[in-house]
């Protein structure tokens, strides 16, 4: 199992300069994995960053940023096309960084919520399945795994539950499409975090961890022992990544509703959260 952290804990955008600065620091804090958000394709010089990560001894994954103009099931065909193009470029970036997992809500824009009839949902699922299948084939040629993340009801109305993400993965039917679960979102939506993890089983390829308030793991009321038992039950051995955000970056803070600091500093969040996770799962 690899323990990692997302660059959004400290800054946005996580560009080449920031990765060069943060990579040795992340390693020093005891992590062996670094997750790079791909807000704008081209923010990162993939070859030089990949070299730094290798030299630092850090594994790497990438995180998609699904903005309003990146949406695979939007009624506007141009927005759908832009979302597909962005994800193809994100797959290229993931490959260029030497990473395997491209993670996030790879279906719709974060923050878009809407009422759906059963027929409308069936139509959108058919559209998404066909699109993801083609993206998966493109990603497979580059050794990239697409990991779909359910979000809470305030950030999307389309995929809120592990069961919904699993349904999409099964419909797509490609080996390199899996599930990402996030303890923050699960704590809002799932009846049982442990059962959600167990129901995902082998589909679970990536795990995001933070507290009920998006703070350091272990500082709130997420039922961590239930999470740990479920991870053990399904023999999960993939990345375990802390994902949180700093209120100092206004655009990200507004999107994720981050209005205050969770710890005395991003370093404090990273250090205490990483220590807790290693004791819990290591």
Residues with a known catalytic role = 149, 243
User: What are 178's two structure tokens?
Assistant: 């899996």
Instruction: Report the DSSP beta bridge partners of residue 240.
Output: 3, 207
List, in sequence order, every residue forming a beta bridge with 38; answer none if it has no partner.
64
- 39: Cβ–Cβ under 8 A, 6 or more apart, which residues? 12, 13, 14, 65
What's the CA gap between 177 and 184, in Å, rounded?
A: 22
| Six token digits for residue 209 | 């961890």
CA–CA separation, 7 and 25 (whole Å): 11
Q: Distance (Å, rounded) from C-alpha 45 to C-alpha 225?
A: 39
Judge contact between 200 and 190, C-beta under 8 A.
no
| Angle at the Cα of 202 from the Cα atoms of 140 and 58, rounded to 5 degrees | 65
Long-range pairs for 15-24 at CB < 8 Å and ≥24 separation? 15/43, 15/44, 16/43, 16/44, 16/45, 16/48, 16/49, 19/44, 19/49, 19/52, 19/53, 20/48, 20/49, 20/52, 23/52, 23/53, 23/56, 23/58, 24/56
């Amino acid at each position: 199992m690899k323990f990692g952290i997302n660059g959004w804990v400290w800054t946005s955008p996580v560009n080449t300069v920031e990765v060069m600065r943060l990579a040795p620091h992340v390693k020093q804090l005891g992590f062996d994995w670094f997750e790079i958000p791909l807000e704008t394709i081209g923010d990162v010089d993939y070859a030089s960053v990949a070299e730094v990560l290798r030299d630092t001894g850090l594994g790497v994954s990438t995180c998609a940023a699904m903005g309003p103009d990146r949406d695979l099931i939007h009624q506007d065909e141009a927005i759908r096309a832009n979302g597909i193009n962005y994800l193809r470029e994100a797959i290229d970036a993931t490959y260029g960084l030497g990473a395997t997992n491209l993670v996030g809500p790879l279906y719709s824009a974060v923050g878009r919520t809407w009422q759906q009839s059963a027929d409308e949902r069936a139509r959108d699922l058919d559209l998404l399945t066909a699109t993801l299948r083609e993206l998966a084939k493109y990603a497979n040629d580059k050794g990239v795994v697409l990991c779909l993340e359910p979000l809470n009801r305030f950030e999307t109305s389309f995929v809120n539950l592990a069961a919904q993400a699993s349904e999409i993965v099964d419909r797509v039917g490609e080996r390199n499409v899996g599930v990402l679960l996030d303890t923050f979102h699960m704590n809002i939506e799932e009846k049982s975090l442990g059962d959600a993890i167990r129901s995902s089983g082998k589909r679970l390829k990536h795990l995001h961890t933070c507290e009920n308030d998006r703070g350091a793991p272990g500082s709130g009321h997420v039922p961590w022992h239930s999470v740990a038992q479920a991870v053990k039950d399904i023999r999960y051995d993939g990345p375990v990544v802390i994902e949180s955000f700093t209120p100092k970056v206004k655009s990200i803070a507004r999107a994720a509703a981050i209005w205050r600091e969770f710890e005395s500093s991003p370093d404090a969040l990273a250090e205490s959260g990483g220590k807790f996770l290693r004791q819990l799962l290591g």
